[in-house]
Structure 1
Amino acid sequence: MDSLTHAALGACLGEVMLSRKIGKRALFWGALAQNLPDIDVVAALWLSPDQNLLVHRGGTHSFLFALGLAVLLSLLARRKYRDRQVPWNQFFGFFLVQLLVHDLLDTCNAYGTGLLEPFSQERFSFHLLYVADPLFTLWPCLGLIALLLLRNSNPKRTYWALAGLVPAVVYLGYAFLNKQQISQQIEASLAKQQIPYSDYFVTPTPFNNWLWYAVVATENGYQIGHRSVFTEKAVPTEFTFFPKQEELLRFAIDPGEVQELKRFAHGYYTVERWNDTLVFNVLRYGQMQGWQDPKSRFTFHYFLSPAGVDNRLVMQRGRAKGWNRESLQRMKIAIFGPPPEKAHSAMP
């Protein structure tokens, strides 16, 4: 998730778990601890882009790292607040919870989190939330604002901390139910259209939990479609086929780079040529406005050749490319359907 969400959640947790001992300072420590696993972003300063993709949300997001860092932070906080007589185990529990919440929350989106590193390279992605979802972030932020404004002695502080945490947990449950509904309807659409497949996944589209993106693995490529939680159950999902084109990888300059990208893609990728440029698409991050143009390019596209092409912003360059008022309006229609008068005029 984004840094603002982690910080607001950490502050609300800090209020609940530690504010009676150290006051509003608990908000700061909570926000800080919640963002420390993302220290791995500094690795981009010396790693190549393909290597950095696997380092991010890797070792610093593991259970082992959380345990070790919680011990170090507890020793630091115990020394700083020795006059407050806070037991070391209370500090340890506080920091361990903060770090684990960060790690587990990051598993809710598409990137993949290395919870078991260094013992296992498996990445966990539950595809429940987009990396930034305003309806999830809203509640912790409101709670944080109230906590910053209220005095330490105000009895409503706990209420506002819980007001920041409980709705966020409820929203996660809502996202889980949405995913279950979409998954069932995608499977029904595949069966109705008699599309053979080996596996599939669904994940939310940008900034919402109502319009979902589906990728279905077939023998030679992928069927891709979008579906809203408000679409009638009987309406089948429309799919667009994208060939995998694995054979194009023989033109890649760096085979090691290709292997890193395949690992990062979890098997979901296509290869294309854009004029003289060889492009590796990772499908887990959606399309650029795929709800508007089913054949649009993929958000994550990595340039394999020619040599020297800049891939440093590979995670950002396609996320909002081409977005404008029309594309947002088309997303609204994809979620809620056309306005009544347009829907009526479209009927035969």
Structure 2
Amino acid sequence: MDSVTHIVLGACIGEIFVGRKIRHRALLLGAVAQSVPDIDIIAGSWLSPAGDLLAHRGITHSLLFALCMTPLLAFIADRWRRPHNIAFRTWLYFFGTEILVHLFLDTGNAYGTGLLEPFDHHRFSYNNLFVADPFLTLVPAMVFIILILHKGHRARMKWAILAIAYCSIYWAGSLVNKARMERDVVLTTRAQHISYDHHFTTPTPFNNLLWYIILEDSNGYYVGYHSVMAKNKDIPFAYFPRQDSLLDGFRQREDVQQLLRFSQGYYTVDNRQDTLRFHDLRFGQVAGWADNKAPFAFYYYLNSDDNSLLIQRGRFARWNKRTIGVLWKKMMGE
């Protein structure tokens, strides 16, 4: 998830564990503790763009990292500003909860989380949340502000519990939406006589109602959009060939091997104006709900060094009043 969600939810967890003992400092400590796994952004300073894709949410988002860092952080906190009346096991529960919640939240979106690194490189992802969902973040953010302003611990505890309960319910609701989308994909593809080997569904930007769908066959992918609010179960698809042969001569390169591993098989290659581009389809199209033939937001130049901002490059290029209006209408099932 995005940093804001981790910070405000981490602050609420901090209030529950140690708010009574250290008051407002619990908010800061909770926000920092929840953000610890994201220290992997430092790796981007010396890794290649493709290597950085795999480093992010890798070892620092693993269960091994949680197991090692929890007692270390608890030890540091236990010796922070002594004397204090916080038991060491409280620090263990606090930091363990913060880090594990961070890892769990990050399994919600398409990037995936390397929970078993370095023993297994599989990326775990439920694909049930967009990486930044204001409908998820709004309530804990409001509670965070209330916690800063409110002085009574009993009321503060109730507010913190409310924020965590809301996020839990929203997460459960997103899984229900995911299940409904999976059902609609099966029904629609049967009705439209579309056969496929694998498929992928994930929410579109900033909501959990309109979903992005990929159906993979032996030669390429069907791409479409569908809302859980839609009464019409028919889904219009656009087809994109994989064009795997364009990787001939590049496949043994280290960066290409990293991209193939990262994309989990959902990729296409194209050649535009003598520039070869590798696309990871999981990160969607540029306003694809308004034009399902739109270009993909993630692209990596195979014969150029300009490969910064891979995931975000072009994501909002076609966002305007019209495409935002179309997004809202399709979210509502129109």
Same-fold call, TM cutoff 0.5? yes
TM-score by structure 1 length? Answer: 0.93
Q: Could you say which residue in structure 2 is the equivalent of 1:323?
A: 319
Spell out the pairing of 1:140-155 with structure 2 (5 A cutoff): 140-151=140-151, 153-155=152-154
State the AA in 2 paired with 1:262. Answer: L
Name the % identity. 44
Q: Could you say which residue in structure 2 is the equivalent of 1:345?
A: none
Q: 1:154, CA displacement in angstroms?
A: 4.4
Spell out the pairing of 1:140-179 with structure 2 (5 A cutoff): 140-151=140-151, 153-179=152-178
* Partners of 1:214 and 1:107 in 2: CA distance: 18
- Alpha-carbon contact 1:58-1:117 (below 8 Å) kept: yes
- Alpha-carbon contact 1:139-1:165 (below 8 Å) kept: no
Q: 1:252, CA displacement in angstroms?
A: 3.3
Q: Could you say which residue in structure 2 is the equivalent of 1:35?
A: 35
**DSSP 3-state at the match of 2:83:** helix
**DSSP 3-state at the match of 1:203:** strand
- Alpha-carbon contact 2:286-2:294 (below 8 Å) kept: yes
CA deviations 1:234-258 (Å, max 9, x no partner) are: 5311111110000001153972211
State the AA in 1 paired with 2:115. Answer: L
How many residue pairs are counted as aligned between the two chains?
A: 334
* Partners of 1:125 and 1:235 in 2: CA distance: 26
Q: 1:196, CA displacement in angstroms?
A: 1.3
Q: Which runs of 5+ in 2 are unaligned?
A: none
* Partners of 2:22 and 2:84 in 1: CA distance: 7
Q: Could you say which residue in structure 1 is the equivalent of 2:247?
A: 249
- Alpha-carbon contact 1:182-1:229 (below 8 Å) kept: yes
* Partners of 1:322 and 1:296 in 2: CA distance: 9
**DSSP 3-state at the match of 1:57:** coil
Q: 1:268, CA displacement in angstroms?
A: 0.6
Q: Could you say which residue in structure 1 is the equivalent of 2:194?
A: 195
- Alpha-carbon contact 2:222-2:238 (below 8 Å) kept: yes
* Partners of 2:322 and 2:11 in 1: CA distance: 37
- Alpha-carbon contact 2:50-2:258 (below 8 Å) kept: yes
* Partners of 2:333 and 2:39 in 1: CA distance: 42
Q: 1:28, CA displacement in angstroms?
A: 1.0
* Partners of 2:212 and 2:37 in 1: CA distance: 28
- Alpha-carbon contact 2:251-2:257 (below 8 Å) kept: no
State the AA in 2 paired with 1:257. Answer: D
Q: Which runs of 5+ in 1 are unaligned?
A: 339-348
TM-score by structure 2 length? Answer: 0.97
